[in-house]
């Protein structure tokens, strides 16, 4: 892929990738680890990327795979011995200094309450704005499955977040 720079492609999708990671992961430190690891994995397998297909979908698919691996193997930050300050290596200020920061904490906490298969669908479609078909392709699931998980996920979120 001589005409395509991985760094340039990644730079475009990176903000969305981090947001996706925050929607999946349990805290900002895990989310940043996840985005970082997904980027690394994608870089290593960039020769498998098909030119002409969508880089963002490919990147999100990799991120989701890494997330599943992290979840299954328990290699999230809390599960290994990280220095105390590492827990503070985060992309935003978690202290309730602003309304907005509270909102993100609450939104992340609510997402954590969803079963993983609903969380990933909500993260792709409601948070990122992927269409159902693209989300189904990223998740390698039938579109009907995606649509029913989305319905259940957003009902549950409305119960948790809707009263505000």
Partner 1 sequence: MTDDEEFFAWLDGELDDDKAAEVEARVRASSELTARAAEHRKLASGLQTAFGLVIESGAPPPSFQSAAVVDFGARAAGREPRPAAFGMPQWAAMAATLALGLLVGNLASRGTYSPVAVDGDHLIAAASLDRSLDTALASAPSEAGVRIGLTFRNAKGGICRSFQDRSVSGLACHDGRQWRIEGLFQGAEGQSQDYRMAAGHDPRLAQLLSQTIAGEPFDEAQERAARDRGWR
Asked if 1 is part of the footprint of partner 1 (rule: CB under 8 A), the reply reads: no
- 127 contacts: CB under 8 Å, gap ≥ 6: 19, 20, 23
Query: Which residues 86-105 are close enough to bind partner 1 by CB under 8 A?
Result: 86, 88-93, 100-101, 103-104
Asked if 109 is part of the footprint of partner 1 (rule: CB under 8 A), the reply reads: no
- 37 contacts: CB under 8 Å, gap ≥ 6: 66, 70
| Distance of alpha carbon 150 from alpha carbon 110, whole angstroms | 15
- 45 contacts: CB under 8 Å, gap ≥ 6: 62
CB of 36 to partner 1, least distance (A): 6
Asked if 156 is part of the footprint of partner 1 (rule: CB under 8 A), the reply reads: no
Distance between start and end Cα atoms, the chain: 49
| Distance of alpha carbon 153 from alpha carbon 114, whole angstroms | 7
CB of 17 to partner 1, least distance (A): 8
CB of 47 to partner 1, least distance (A): 13
| Distance of alpha carbon 23 from alpha carbon 20, whole angstroms | 5
Q: Which residues bind partner 1 (CB under 8 A)?
A: 5-7, 10-11, 14-16, 18-19, 22-23, 31-33, 36-37, 39-40, 43, 77, 80, 82-83, 85-86, 88-93, 100-101, 103-104, 106-108, 122, 125-127, 129, 131-132, 144, 147-148, 150-151, 154-155, 157-158, 161-162, 164
């Amino acid at each position: 892929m001589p005409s395509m720079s991985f760094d340039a492609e990644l730079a475009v999708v990176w903000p969305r990738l981090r947001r996706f990671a925050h929607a999946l992961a349990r805290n900002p430190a895990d989310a940043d680890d996840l985005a970082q690891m997904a980027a690394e994995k994608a870089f290593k397998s960039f020769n498998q990327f098909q030119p002409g297909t969508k880089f963002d979908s490919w990147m999100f698919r990799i991120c989701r795979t890494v997330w599943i691996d992290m979840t299954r193997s328990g290699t999230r930050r809390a599960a290994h011995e990280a220095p105390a300050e590492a827990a503070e290596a985060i992309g935003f200020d978690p202290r309730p200094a602003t309304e907005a920061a509270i909102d993100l904490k609450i939104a992340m906490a609510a997402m954590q309450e969803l079963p993983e298969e609903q969380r990933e669908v909500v993260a792709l479609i409601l948070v990122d704005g992927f269409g159902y078909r693209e989300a189904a392709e990223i998740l390698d699931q039938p579109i009907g499955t995606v649509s029913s998980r989305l319905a259940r996920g957003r009902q549950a979120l409305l119960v948790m977040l809707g009263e505000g």
